[in-house]
Chains A and B, each alone.
Chain A
């Protein structure tokens, strides 16, 4: 089964299967190696990828895996296929305007059922003491507004979901 993850805004597909040694990971492009995780204590383990072993520290928080690897911290997000299908995430037929950074909603400029063209301002947010307009990336109909005026949100929060006509 194909799974999707996101690192730093970049989407990656992968397949995980069982093998005689444990697990095998395959990435898009056909790169396929044995992988294993040997847990030392909760949140600390040795990660073995293709025979190379390295200490990692991690915390799983919902869809996010926070990782400390090689002296740096990263966050890897699992894209839940069910959530994607239900329109919470960017699946076919849906388009979600997300917060590029944490902030506060100053105003919502559209209402549910409204037809919008690509480039239409759907909401105004304030972040870093600056006002930013959030625009529809394509034509569609406003399906859901996820935030209220005055509400604060984290980065990547869904603000407005659009559905494409005919889907």
Chain B
């Protein structure tokens, strides 16, 4: 990778937190200059300290500043940046932003705006994938021909899920396991669709029992070469939010693994995909269906880097610079097992309520096979203004068992004081028998609420906490000193 030439000397990172730090590190490694935009609440963040240039942006809310494309492009031009890396979230999958970046004469580090647009429209993306002969869940859309909807839904077969077309978040969803229940399910789903979305149109789709989330990392260059970098499994989720990701997936046989990875590469090739992207699938009982394609770097990309030895941000930059991929599919190897755990500012024990505070003490685990991507530093205030992700603890081991053991000890050696986190919850998942056996599906944590709740601290721990707090609290110590010590009062007549 070193020695590559770039048509840009300065790259602006239009993001914050751990991903901004992670991108800046690769820019430094490649000898490129880094610039980052920041809202004032992030003024003390590590990304701002690390970048060669930091440009303050503002907005009605902190989030809205990072969504303000005009300010970001102006910031890039002000430091003579030649390219913008959007990271994930914010403007990373905004086709209009990709277009204005290019219109301003800058390189957008990502796919073409047309591909972002195609994959951003879930129905268009699904039709595109199906028309190119790749598997999507069998389904029936009422709107296509309302008169035949029920017949077409029956033809999909059970188990079946009936959902409002306008829906989201599981509202109005009905699972049908016996076709005799279909008529009732349609009436109920339509009623709830009307109530929640003011829209009674429905669609029916094959329901995957105990679904697992499998995704495949893709890399394409501007010459049409596409490779896959194997899969990641992200089934440990709560309310559609990923918590732990790993590669390889313990769910896949070598055959299915090959098939799913080649399918993803095929979809990317058909779309003329350039840069890094991820094709997500639902997997269950040996079958997989296309879910969506994310046209950006994923939060969980480090597990792929750990097993393949590649630097995905460096690859993104090389592709954006117009270079062909430096390797073919056969050169990509996956070694060992990698696991990422996401450290969030939230309390799983209290229904995942967000937590806030100030980072008063911070120590990350270190050692062989341990990587920490962190966006926070000592003294930083954690607010609810952004997503709750604080850091990612990523480990690598020769086997899955070794990787799990390493992840456990990494969490044990993590210390953050001043803001409550989900660390103890991560540790409980890693120690769960179902997780250790590789049997987690996306509904697993909902089925096992005890993992989120945890146990109250035991009496011994409570006693030690109270002892420490008493000894450290000035009014408590002062009160103890206000009363003569026992030996002082006894001492006089003992001597």
Hey, which bits of chain A sit against chain B, CB under 8 A? Answer: 1, 3, 5, 7-8, 10, 12, 14, 16-20, 23, 25, 27, 31, 35-37, 43, 47, 49, 54, 56-61, 65-76, 78, 80, 100-103, 127-128, 152, 154-155
Is the pair B384, A67 in contact by a Cβ cutoff of 8 Å? no
> CA A152 – CA B381 in complex, angstroms?
14
Is the pair B356, A102 in contact by a Cβ cutoff of 8 Å? yes
> CA A54 – CA B352 in complex, angstroms?
31
> CA A82 – CA B470 in complex, angstroms?
17
Is the pair A47, B417 in contact by a Cβ cutoff of 8 Å? no
Shortest CB-to-CB span from A72 to chain B, Å, is 5
Is the pair A7, B472 in contact by a Cβ cutoff of 8 Å? no
User: Across the interface, which residues of B come within 8 angstroms of A56, CB to CB?
Assistant: 468
Q: Is B372 positioned at the interface, with any CB of A under 8 Å from its CB?
A: no
User: Across the interface, which residues of B come within 8 angstroms of A10, CB to CB?
Assistant: 456
A18-B480 contact in complex given A47-B464, A102-B384, C-beta closer than 8 Å: yes
Question: Would you give 6 A-B contacts (Cβ < 8 Å), ordered by A?
Answer: A14-B466, A19-B486, A25-B467, A54-B464, A73-B420, A101-B350
> CA A16 – CA B481 in complex, angstroms?
9
On chain B, the number of residues with a Cβ less than 8 Å from chain A's Cβ atoms is 52
User: Across the interface, which residues of A come within 8 angstroms of B424, CB to CB?
Assistant: 72-73
Shortest CB-to-CB span from A114 to chain B, Å, is 29
Is the pair B485, A19 in contact by a Cβ cutoff of 8 Å? yes
A66-B417 contact in complex given A7-B462, A19-B487, A76-B469, C-beta closer than 8 Å: yes
User: Across the interface, which residues of B come within 8 angstroms of A37, CB to CB?
Assistant: 468, 471-472
A16-B471 contact in complex given A8-B456, A73-B420, A127-B353, C-beta closer than 8 Å: yes
Is the pair B469, A5 in contact by a Cβ cutoff of 8 Å? yes
Choose among A18, A60, A100 the residue that contacts B486 (Cβ–Cβ < 8 A). Answer: A18
Q: Is B147 positioned at the interface, with any CB of A under 8 Å from its CB?
A: no
User: Across the interface, which residues of A come within 8 angstroms of B421, CB to CB?
Assistant: 73
Is the pair A66, B361 in contact by a Cβ cutoff of 8 Å? yes
Instruction: Report the 7 A-B pairs with minimum CB-CB distance, sorted nearest first.
Output: A18-B485, A20-B487, A101-B353, A66-B417, A76-B469, A59-B360, A71-B412
Is the pair A80, B475 in contact by a Cβ cutoff of 8 Å? yes
Is the pair A72, B471 in contact by a Cβ cutoff of 8 Å? no
Is the pair B480, A59 in contact by a Cβ cutoff of 8 Å? no
> CA A70 – CA B471 in complex, angstroms?
18
> CA A65 – CA B361 in complex, angstroms?
12
B22-49 vs A, Cβ < 8 Å mask (1 yes, 0 no): 0000000000000000000000000000
Q: Is B477 positioned at the interface, with any CB of A under 8 Å from its CB?
A: yes
> CA A60 – CA B360 in complex, angstroms?
9
Is the pair B417, A12 in contact by a Cβ cutoff of 8 Å? no
User: Across the interface, which residues of B come within 8 angstroms of A76, CB to CB?
Assistant: 465-466, 468-469
Shortest CB-to-CB span from B379 to chain A, Å, is 11
Choose among A14, A80, A102, A152 the residue that contacts B470 (Cβ–Cβ < 8 A). Answer: A14
> CA A20 – CA B485 in complex, angstroms?
7
Is the pair A35, B470 in contact by a Cβ cutoff of 8 Å? yes
Choose among A25, A68, A69 the residue that contacts B361 (Cβ–Cβ < 8 A). Answer: A68
User: Across the interface, which residues of B come within 8 angstroms of A43, CB to CB?
Assistant: 361
Choose among A58, A67, A78, A128 the residue that contacts B354 (Cβ–Cβ < 8 A). Answer: A128
Is the pair B461, A16 in contact by a Cβ cutoff of 8 Å? no
Is the pair A3, B476 in contact by a Cβ cutoff of 8 Å? yes
Choose among B456, B468, B486, B487 the residue that contacts A47 (Cβ–Cβ < 8 A). Answer: B468
A154-B476 contact in complex given A54-B464, A127-B384, C-beta closer than 8 Å: no
Is the pair A49, B464 in contact by a Cβ cutoff of 8 Å? yes
> CA A92 – CA B465 in complex, angstroms?
27
Shortest CB-to-CB span from A108 to chain B, Å, is 20
User: Across the interface, which residues of A come within 8 angstroms of B358, CB to CB?
Assistant: 61
Choose among A20, A23, A49 the residue that contacts B463 (Cβ–Cβ < 8 A). Answer: A49
**Nearest CB to that of B412 among chain A residues?**
A71
Choose among A12, A27, A72, A152 the residue that contacts B384 (Cβ–Cβ < 8 A). Answer: A152
Is the pair B417, A68 in contact by a Cβ cutoff of 8 Å? yes
Is the pair A3, B470 in contact by a Cβ cutoff of 8 Å? yes
Q: Is B398 positioned at the interface, with any CB of A under 8 Å from its CB?
A: no
Choose among B361, B462, B464, B486 the residue that contacts A59 (Cβ–Cβ < 8 A). Answer: B361
Is the pair B350, A74 in contact by a Cβ cutoff of 8 Å? no
Shortest CB-to-CB span from B463 to chain A, Å, is 6
User: Across the interface, which residues of B come within 8 angstroms of A47, CB to CB?
Assistant: 464, 467-468, 471
Q: Is B284 positioned at the interface, with any CB of A under 8 Å from its CB?
A: no
User: 10 extra interchain contacts, Cβ-Cβ under 8 A, other than A16-B477, A18-B481, A66-B418?
Assistant: A7-B462, A7-B466, A12-B466, A18-B484, A23-B470, A25-B467, A25-B470, A49-B463, A69-B464, A127-B384
Is the pair B471, A74 in contact by a Cβ cutoff of 8 Å? no
> CA A88 – CA B484 in complex, angstroms?
32
Is the pair A23, B480 in contact by a Cβ cutoff of 8 Å? yes
User: Across the interface, which residues of A come within 8 angstroms of B352, CB to CB?
Assistant: 128
Is the pair B423, A73 in contact by a Cβ cutoff of 8 Å? yes
> CA A80 – CA B481 in complex, angstroms?
18
**Nearest CB to that of B477 among chain A residues?**
A16
> CA A17 – CA B483 in complex, angstroms?
8
> CA A76 – CA B123 in complex, angstroms?
51
Is the pair B463, A103 in contact by a Cβ cutoff of 8 Å? no
Q: Is B74 positioned at the interface, with any CB of A under 8 Å from its CB?
A: no
> CA A56 – CA B466 in complex, angstroms?
13
> CA A58 – CA B384 in complex, angstroms?
24
Most chain B CB within a 10 A radius of its CB, from A1, A12, A59, A74? A74
